[in-house]
């Protein structure tokens, strides 16, 4: 861990800002971390070994800990959940591999529903404001979380982001997680619902390859179905594989580009207003 400032949690390095905002003017951003972190230790223990050490004259004591490694995140997620409940927010955590069309899905959803439903968006990416800039064009409040080296959003980042975003009571908050089918699945953000987006240009066996993710969600959106005529993709196989790892998994097939199938997604979204469902 960093000796200079005591940092260490990748979550603390996340930069949170709205489009157009200058980094220098942002106190929330915990000093940006431009100093280097040299570690010149050449000794470290092997991962697992079973030899005993004796330390004569020193009293050794075994302390029972029994603490969940994700406890800090889970506690923060519960705080978020309380905040969301108090403000009557419906918070959707959208996850997928990069390039599945999450941002396009959000753009169309917001543009077609914003007259009826209040939205705000939290965008998660390692770098750039690109996605937040795209959402900004729709006119709804958006905030970008740049995780730096982090491969996922965590509950602490969402806690900081939601306070700056200050969404209206009773509104929807759409979280676009970092494009990654592995890491985000483990981190509870306090969300109302988790959704995975899979596109038909990926393999049908994605659920089998990333079962942790597909087990953790309630809905799988199958995007880019306008491309089906040009592909060998077998939708029924994808659904079968998805239900093998998660028998309760719901599927919605749509094209965020052409708008086909979006109605079912909107209906699902409206259904979430009364809780996870």
Partner 1 sequence: MHELSIVLSIIEIVAMEAKKSGAERVTEVHLEIGQLSGVEFDSLEFALKNFAPGSVIESAEISIEKPGGTARCCNCGYEFSIENFIGSCNLCSSFNLEIIKGRELSVKSITID
The residue ranges that bind partner 1 (CB under 8 A) are: 1, 3, 8-11, 39, 41, 43-45, 47-50, 53, 55, 58-73, 149-152, 154, 182-183, 185-187, 208, 211-212, 215, 243-245, 247
C-alpha separations of 142 from 38, 82, 137, 248, 277 in Å: 36, 22, 10, 32, 26
47 or 230: whose CB is closer to partner 1?
A: 47
Asked if residues 84 and 236 have their Cβ atoms less than 8 Å apart, the reply is no
Whole-angstrom Cα distance, residue 138 to residue 115?
Answer: 11
In angstroms, give the least distance from the CB of 57 to partner 1: 10
Smallest gap from Cβ 232 to partner 1, in A, equals: 22
Nearer to partner 1, 24 or 43 (CB): 43
Whether 13 contacts 160, CB under 8 Å: no
Task: Report, in Å, the least distance between residue 157 CB and partner 1.
Answer: 11
Alpha-carbon distances, residue 40 vs 9, 37, 44 (angstroms): 20, 10, 11
- Taking the complex as a whole, how short is the minimal distance between the CB of residue 35 and partner 1, in angstroms? 15
Taking the C-alpha atoms of residue 248 and residue 103, their distance in angstroms, rounded to an integer, is 26
* Nearer to partner 1 among residue 8 and residue 271 (C-beta): 8
C-beta closer to partner 1: residue 75 or 83: 75
Q: How far apart are CA 151 and CA 99, in angstroms?
A: 15
Q: How far is the CB of 183 from partner 1 (least distance, A)?
A: 4
- The least distance separating partner 1 from the CB of residue 71, rounded to whole angstroms, comes to 7
The minimum distance between CB 236 and partner 1, in angstroms, equals 16
Nearest CB to partner 1, comparing residues 130 and 212: 212
Residue of 186, 177, 168, 194 lying closest to 84 (CA atoms): 168
DSSP letter string, 90-128: EEEEEEESTTSSHHHHHHHHHHHHTTTS-EEEEEEESS-
Residue whose CB is less far from partner 1, 165 or 186: 186
Q: What is the DSSP string of 205-249?
A: THHHHSHHHHHH-SEEEEE-GGGGGGS---HHHHHHHHHHH-TT-
Taking the least distance from each CB to partner 1, the nearer of 19 and 211 is: 211
Distance, in Å, from the CA atom of 157 to the CA atom of 72, rounded to the nearest integer, reads 12
């Amino acid at each position: 861990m960093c000796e200079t400032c005591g940092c260490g949690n990748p979550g603390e390095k996340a930069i949170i800002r709205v489009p157009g905002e200058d980094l220098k003017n942002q106190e929330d951003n915990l000093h940006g971390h431009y100093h280097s972190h040299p570690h010149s230790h050449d000794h470290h223990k092997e991962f697992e070994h079973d030899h005993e050490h004796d330390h004569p004259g020193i009293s050794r004591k075994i302390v029972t800990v029994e603490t969940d490694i994700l406890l800090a995140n889970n506690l923060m997620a519960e705080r978020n959940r309380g905040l969301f409940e108090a403000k009557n927010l419906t918070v959707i955590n959208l996850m997928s591999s990069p390039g599945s069309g999450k941002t396009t899905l959000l753009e169309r959803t917001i543009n077609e529903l914003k007259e009826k439903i209040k939205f705000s968006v939290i965008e998660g990416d390692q770098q750039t404001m690109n996605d937040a800039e795209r959402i900004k064009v729709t006119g709804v409040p958006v905030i970008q979380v740049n995780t730096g080296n982090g491969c996922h959003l965590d509950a602490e980042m969402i806690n900081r982001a939601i306070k700056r975003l200050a969404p209206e009571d009773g509104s929807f908050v759409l979280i676009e997680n970092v494009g990654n089918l592995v890491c985000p699945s483990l981190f509870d953000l306090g969300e109302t619902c988790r959704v995975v987006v899979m596109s038909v240009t990926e393999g049908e066996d994605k659920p089998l390859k990333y079962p942790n993710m597909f087990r953790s969600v309630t809905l799988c959106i199958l995007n880019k179905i306008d491309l089906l005529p040009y592909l060998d993709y077998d939708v029924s196989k994808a659904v079968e594989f998805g239900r093998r790892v998660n028998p309760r998994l719901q599927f919605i097939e749509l094209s965020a580009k052409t708008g086909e199938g979006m109605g079912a997604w909107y209906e699902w979204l409206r259904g979430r207003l009364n809780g996870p469902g």
